[in-house]
Structure 1
Amino acid sequence: MTFVALLRGINLGAKNKVDMKSLKVLFEEMGYENVRTYIQTGNVIFDNTAYDILEMERELFETYGFDIPVVIRNKAELEEIQRHPIFLKEQVYVMFLANEISDEQQALLDSLIDDEFVVWNRKNIIISLSKNYHQTKFTNTFFEKKLGMVSTARNQNTVNKILLKM
């Protein structure tokens, strides 16, 4: 099965630098197959029958010296997102959540969001913004604080390109 590890918070400006070649080697050393990366924001595509997020996060910390949260999705999950009607609009971002949200968290989101969005499969938020991502309050940090869990954002173009590489 093909997966993508979506790394949170690397290579943002001068902070948390991670070289993609060394990242590829690290995943190969952990036993993952057919490892490839896509752009500097930390998308590691690999083939395997299983994965261990805690091992990935531990190895990333030991190698790079800072915490790098990891969110995993498989190819089928990304294809479902790609087919969603909201995903086909402009200014679309996907917040990939580390865990499924509860009914209470869903109700909280329903009361807060004023742009068009959908929580998909209780672990992805697809949002079509009426404003630029950097002008909206609905950023990755916003969702992490409101939901109390790690998430990582990717724009529509990045999701599409990851899928092409899978």
Structure 2
Amino acid sequence: MTTKAYAALLRGINVSGHKKVPMAELRALLTELGHGDVRTYLQSGNAVFTSAQGDEKALAAELERAIEKRFGFGVDVLVRDHAYLKAVADGCPFPAASLEGRQLHVTYFSEPVTASHLASIDAARHLPDEFRLGDRALYLYVPDGLGRSKLAEALMKSPPNGVVATTRNWNTVTKLVELTQIQPA
């Protein structure tokens, strides 16, 4: 059985004192679920771990159930393996190396989102902010930061019903690629 490295991306935790999930408890929970090499990154719901279980949706569902049982509230979770995270980082259509981490973000989706899902957004109206779609991901360039972006606000209202979306800045995107890289023994 092959062990792979994964990142769990929790949506909407530890924001303004709501849905508090201490990272030490998240690490303990993942370990209790039988995962190895568990680490967390920042307080915003990023955990990395190894597992022989190869089904990302099953891993996400397992963690969602465990969080609800432990903390008493539901949290949407996306699980992605190293290869996917690296492909997203490598496929960035914006000049990531010349931008600040706060200017570039990736929104990860639970399911594919097509251009038709975002057709109602008038991209030209939101310039200089821009976005591009990728594989279950959306790249968002916001030169003045996410908090000031009307485009980001419009995009968060756009995913189809039932599609979970969670956004990470570029620094976190690249750090998750690094943290999920399994080192040879």
Q: TM-score range by the shorter chain?
A: 0.7 to 0.9
More deviation, 36-45/48-57: 48-57
Partner of 1:68: 75
- Contact 1:143-1:151 at 8 Å conserved across structures: no
TM-score normalised to the size of structure 1?
0.87
Partner of 2:41: 38
Alpha-carbon distance in 1 for matches of 2:137, 2:22: 27
Q: Partner of 1:6: helix, strand, or coil?
A: strand
Q: Partner of 1:146: helix, strand, or coil?
A: coil
TM-score normalised to the size of structure 2?
0.79
1:2 equivalenced with 2:13 (yes/no)? no
Residue 138 of structure 1, CA deviation: 3.4
Partner of 1:59: 66
Partner of 1:131: 144
- Contact 2:12-2:19 at 8 Å conserved across structures: yes
Alpha-carbon distance in 2 for matches of 1:110, 1:7: 27
In the TM superposition, what whole-angstrom CA distance separates every residue of 1:16-63 from its partner, at most 9, and x where no partner exists?
A: 111111100101111111111111001110111325222211111111
Structure 1 portions without partners, runs of 5+: none
Residue 111 of structure 1, CA deviation: 4.6
Alpha-carbon distance in 1 for matches of 2:51, 2:117: 36
Identity percentage over the alignment?
30
Alpha-carbon distance in 2 for matches of 1:109, 1:54: 27
In the TM superposition, what whole-angstrom CA distance separates every residue of 1:111-156 from its partner, at most 9, and x where no partner exists?
A: 51343221111x10011114320111233x6444311221100000
In the TM superposition, what whole-angstrom CA distance separates every residue of 1:2-26 from its partner, at most 9, and x where no partner exists?
A: 1100000011121111111110010
Q: Which amino acid aligns with 1:164?
A: E
Q: Partner of 2:79: helix, strand, or coil?
A: strand
Q: 1:87 to 1:162 in 2, by over 3 A?
A: farther
Larger radius of gyration: 2
Over the aligned positions, Cα root-mean-square deviation in angstroms equals: 1.8
Alpha-carbon distance in 2 for matches of 1:94, 1:138: 13
Partner of 2:133: 119
What number of residue pairs does the alignment pair up?
161
Q: Partner of 2:73: helix, strand, or coil?
A: coil
More deviation, 17-26/141-150: 141-150
